Amino acid sequence: MTVQQEAGSGTDTGVPLEVWIDQDLCTGDGICAQYAPEVFELDIDGLAYVKGAGDELLQAPGASTPVPLPLLTDVVASAEECPGDCIHVRRVSDRVEVYGPDAE
């Protein structure tokens, strides 16, 4: 099963997903920004943040951004490879984490 098919908890219905970073756990390695620079960026404080519309860094605690389907594989790889286990990908509809440290 591909990552795209897994999106939305095992279906290929294109369930909208969002991603957020727990900066308290971020190690600043920048792996996420390497995998998905369209979604993640390191700020001057050395921590990673998600980007919103117009590439604006979303710095509020728990700020999330939609995961574009073409970038889903890269965002999931970021969550899986993150040494700080701080990247969380969840369904928008019920906020259940589908990738990341709290995924079931």
**pLDDT tens across the length of the chain (104 residues):** 334 434 444 334 479 999 999 999 999 999 999 999 999 999 999 999 999 989 999 999 999 999 999 999 999 999 999 999 999 999 999 999 999 999 98
pTM summary value? 0.85
Q: Give every CB contact of residue 47 below 8 A, 6+ residues apart in sequence.
A: 21, 23, 26, 28
What pLDDT was estimated at residue 3?
43
Flag whether 55 is in a domain: yes
Residue whose structure tokens are 């117009």: 54
Is 29 inside a domain boundary?
A: yes
Specify if 104 maps to a domain. Answer: no
pLDDT of residue 33: 97
Q: What is the pLDDT of residue 14?
A: 79
DSSP tally for the chain: helices H, then strands E: 3, 7
**What does the pLDDT read at residue 26?**
97
In a domain, residue 41? The reply is: yes
What pLDDT is recorded for position 19?
A: 98
**What pLDDT is stored for residue 2 in this prediction?**
39
CATH number, domain containing residue 48: 3.30.70.20
Number of domains in the chain: 1
Which residue range forms the structural domain that includes residue 39?
A: 3-99
What confidence score (pLDDT) does residue 7 get? 44
Look at residue 18 and tell me if it is in a domain: yes
